[in-house]
């Protein structure tokens, strides 16, 4: 038997950095949103020893450094269940190194499959606790939907869903180093912070305009000039009629929120000719 699970990409509607922790991580506060861009993760129990990963992206690691393998190993270790021999295939559509949690979402999909197969009685909270040992974004990716993420990203609070809209998502050809961006953040010098409470209120009211007006990612304030294309993409989205635009995660992917499909398609056409990894997406609700 084979089991296939969607692994949804995520966007940051807000991203705020609150403080640096003694463990070297940062305390964050983020409003996260799943979108319809996805990978498909297929899992099969086999007779070959160990856990093997394949992908249509042949440059991805196939050993224990792959987050899907880490997730499976963590599941068996934390539950005390006997490890199984598994073949995992990841058909990727989410761009890599994009700030959209593609790898984390793949790991989360593996956890959801294993939880259904062998985690009888395993609670949602327990599965997310296991996910926290895999990576900071993985607990959110297990849950999905619209959520407030705090701490390293592992403390989650469900929020009302993002109102219906279209999201044009554009990843330029370069990658941005997350450690590099964190090294540039000097907390006392950050000029602005997201209005997280206002974002939550707008979601509760189903106010798409209010949500759009509160998109904010503090990483944009420290982005070096060599990544200026991020702001070029934002301008194209806004010129095409986006209500607002922001970078997601540590970038470089940029997205815009649109009321109607025709304007979203116009933005997609303008960007796609230069940036092949451009997509028109919709919000996705809570996964589990």
Kindly provide the residue ranges of all beta strands, DSSP E only, lying in the chain, ordered along the sequence.
2-20, 26-45, 51-55, 86-91, 146-151, 155-158, 166-170, 216-217, 244-247, 254-258, 278-281, 283-284
Comparing CA positions, the residue from 85, 88, 104 lying closest to residue 96 is 104
Q: Is the omega angle on the peptide bond into residue 229 within 30 degrees of 0, that is, cis?
A: no
70 is an active site residue: no
Angle at 20 between CA 19 and CA 22, to 5 degrees: 130
CA dihedral 133, 134, 135, 137 (to 10 degrees): -100
The Cα–Cα gap between 14 and 194 comes to 6
CB atoms within 10 A of CB 47: 5
Query: Which residue in the list 16, 70, 137, 171 is annotated as catalytic?
Result: 137
- Alpha-carbon distance of 275 to 268, in angstroms, equals 9
Q: Which of 10, 92, 171, 234 is catalytic?
A: 10
Burial of 228: CB neighbours in 10 Å, binned 0-12, 13-18, 19+: exposed
Strand order, beta sheet including 166-170? 244-247, 254-258, 166-170, 278-281
Instruction: Please say if 137 is a catalytic residue.
Output: yes
Q: Alpha carbon 75 to chain centroid distance? A: 21
**Contact, 194 vs 244, CB < 8 A?**
no
Q: Which residues are catalytic?
A: 10, 137
């Amino acid at each position: 038997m084979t089991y296939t699970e969607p692994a949804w990409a995520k966007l940051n509607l807000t991203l705020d950095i609150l403080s640096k922790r003694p463990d070297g991580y940062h305390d964050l506060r983020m409003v996260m949103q799943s979108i319809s861009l996805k990978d498909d993760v297929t899992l099969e129990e086999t007779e070959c020893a160990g856990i093997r990963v394949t992908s249509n992206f042949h440059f991805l690691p196939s050993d224990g450094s792959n987050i899907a393998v880490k997730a499976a190993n963590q599941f068996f270790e934390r539950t005390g269940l006997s490890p199984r021999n598994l073949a995992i295939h990841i058909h990727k559509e989410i761009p890599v190194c994009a700030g959209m949690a593609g790898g984390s979402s793949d790991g989360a999909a593996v956890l959801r499959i294993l939880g259904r197969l062998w985690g009888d009685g395993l609670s949602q909270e327990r599965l997310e606790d296991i996910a926290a040992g895999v990576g900071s974004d993985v607990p959110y990716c297990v849950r999905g939907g619209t959520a407030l993420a705090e701490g390293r990203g592992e403390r989650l609070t469900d929020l009302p869903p993002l109102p219906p809209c279209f999201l044009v998502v554009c990843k330029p050809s370069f990658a941005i180093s997350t450690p590099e961006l964190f090294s540039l953040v000097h907390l006392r010098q950050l000029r602005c912070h997201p209005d997280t409470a206002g974002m939550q209120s707008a979601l509760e009211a189903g106010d798409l305009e209010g949500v759009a007006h509160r998109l904010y990612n503090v990483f944009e304030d420290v982005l070096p000039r060599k990544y200026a294309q991020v702001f070029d993409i934002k301008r194209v989205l806004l010129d095409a009629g986006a209500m607002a635009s922001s970078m997601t995660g540590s970038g470089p992917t940029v997205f815009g929120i649109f009321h109607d499909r025709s304007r979203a398609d116009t933005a997609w056409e303008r960007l796609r000719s230069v940036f092949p990894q451009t997509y028109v997406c919709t919000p996705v609700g809570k996964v589990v």
